[in-house]
Amino acid sequence: MTYSVAVSGASGYAGGEILRLLAAHPDIEIRTVTAHSNAGQPLTAHQPHLRSLAHLELQPTTPEVLSGHDIVFLALPHGQSGQYTDALDDTALVIDAGADHRLTSQEAWDQFYGGDFHDPWAYGVPELLTGDGKLREQLRSARRIAAPGCNASTVSLSLAPGVAARVIDPADIVSVLAVGPSGAGKSLKPHLLGSEILGTANPYAVGGTHRHIPEIRQALAAASSGSAEDIRISFTPVIVPMSRGILATSSAPIVDGVTDAQIRDAWESAYADEAFVQLLPEGSFPRTADVLGANTALLGLAIDRAANRVVVVAAVDNLVKGTAGAAIQSMNLALGLPEGRALTMNGVAP
């Protein structure tokens, strides 16, 4: 069976990456691509790398255009997907790459986003531990899926095993991320110009203001069967001169009395059977180049007894495992297809 698909926000980075992955998917027909101000133009005017889709033309993003497909991907700015809910009521599968359906707590939404609160959808990170299993199970029957925030899922996957196994203290997590500017989208802002990005490292949202913080707290609370209030995280993203990629260095205090073996085992047992979340051998740490274009999250683990902290370094392609790959992987699960279809494990390096 071939599923018909519409992708909104097709002129942006998330939309483009969803299309790049879907173009290699044997069960998918990309029927419709939409954009806001660029409707009427060829897709390749905005995504010149998508040569196999050179026949597609951008249509306006309206409920009428989006309805009537088996699957709809929403890759819109935050706050904009709600208006399509009614029109997509009959659509078998809707996947939102935006933030509107990620948070379960209206209080957190109001604090970090504001505007209308929407009901939470199934969260598109199959490998993430919940109190009694993994999110994969919930995704198998999902009809509405929220793809994760790229930084959020990277940090959550990094620490969930240790939090779930209670070998690290989630009350004093520190995460610092080197991130590429594509995570900020195609916004025309001065600090995102090439001249401002090249040859420099730029911090932003320092001091607890980044919108992915409540998403991490929610995910780690679920992993520990606890409350988001018990998860505290100092979170600092730093834009560095690579177009894509997240290298997240996260650490948390070691719980008194646990052994090195217990610590390492927490991560090993959590991800031993996963294709797309892999713990590297002891002493090895990942680079973002290793996962460029791939759906893989690579983790390296260090136990620093002198500092009394477990350090996890995670490499993710923000546009693949961080967004579009997570969306396709979740789609495969929801459709009952092989989970890894059209996704690659190997990065494009050097």
Positions marked active-site: 150
Q: How far apart are the first and last CA of the chain?
A: 37
Q: Give 99 or 294: the residue with its C-beta nearer to its own copies.
A: 294
Structure tokens at 234: 């100092």
Cα–Cα nearest to 246, from 193, 210, 220: 210
Tell me: does residue 37 bind its own copies (CB under 8 A). Answer: no
Cα–Cα nearest to 95, from 73, 66, 79, 119: 73
Give the Cα separation of 21 and 90 in Å (integer): 25
Q: Which residue bears the tokens 């027909």?
A: 29
- Interface with its own copies by CB under 8 A: which range of 42-50, 81-89, 140-148, 258-266? 42-50
Applying the rule CB under 8 A, the residues between 5 and 24 that interact with its own copies are 13, 16, 20, 23-24
My answer on whether omega of the bond before 350 falls inside 30° of 0, hence cis, is yes
CB within 8 A of 308, min separation 6: which ones? 253, 254
Tell me: does residue 39 bind its own copies (CB under 8 A). Answer: no
Residue pair 164/265 in contact by the 8 Å Cβ criterion: no
Of positions 201, 225, 260, 261, contacts its own copies by CB under 8 A: 201
> What is the residue type of 113?
Y
Tell me: does residue 249 bind its own copies (CB under 8 A). Answer: yes
Tell me: does residue 300 bind its own copies (CB under 8 A). Answer: yes
Tell me: does residue 194 bind its own copies (CB under 8 A). Answer: yes
Of positions 174, 226, 262, 265, contacts its own copies by CB under 8 A: 174
Tell me: does residue 60 bind its own copies (CB under 8 A). Answer: no
Cβ 35 to its own copies shortest distance, Å:
13
Q: Give 92 or 206: the residue with its C-beta nearer to its own copies.
A: 206
Residue pair 304/115 in contact by the 8 Å Cβ criterion: no
Tell me: does residue 1 bind its own copies (CB under 8 A). Answer: no
Cα–Cα nearest to 294, from 349, 347, 247: 347
Of positions 9, 245, 322, 325, contacts its own copies by CB under 8 A: 245
Q: Give 85 or 285: the residue with its C-beta nearer to its own copies.
A: 285
Count of residues making up the chain: 350
Applying the rule CB under 8 A, the residues between 311 and 340 that interact with its own copies are 311, 313, 315
Tell me: does residue 41 bind its own copies (CB under 8 A). Answer: no
Tell me: does residue 188 bind its own copies (CB under 8 A). Answer: yes
Of positions 296, 323, 329, 330, contacts its own copies by CB under 8 A: 296
Q: How many CB atoms lie within 10 A of CB 40?
A: 11
Tell me: does residue 32 bind its own copies (CB under 8 A). Answer: no
- Interface with its own copies by CB under 8 A: which range of 1-9, 64-72, 114-122, 192-200? 192-200
- Quote the Cα angle for 177-313-132, to 5°: 105
Cβ 152 to its own copies shortest distance, Å:
16
Cα–Cα nearest to 327, from 13, 14, 83, 9: 14
Tell me: does residue 278 bind its own copies (CB under 8 A). Answer: yes
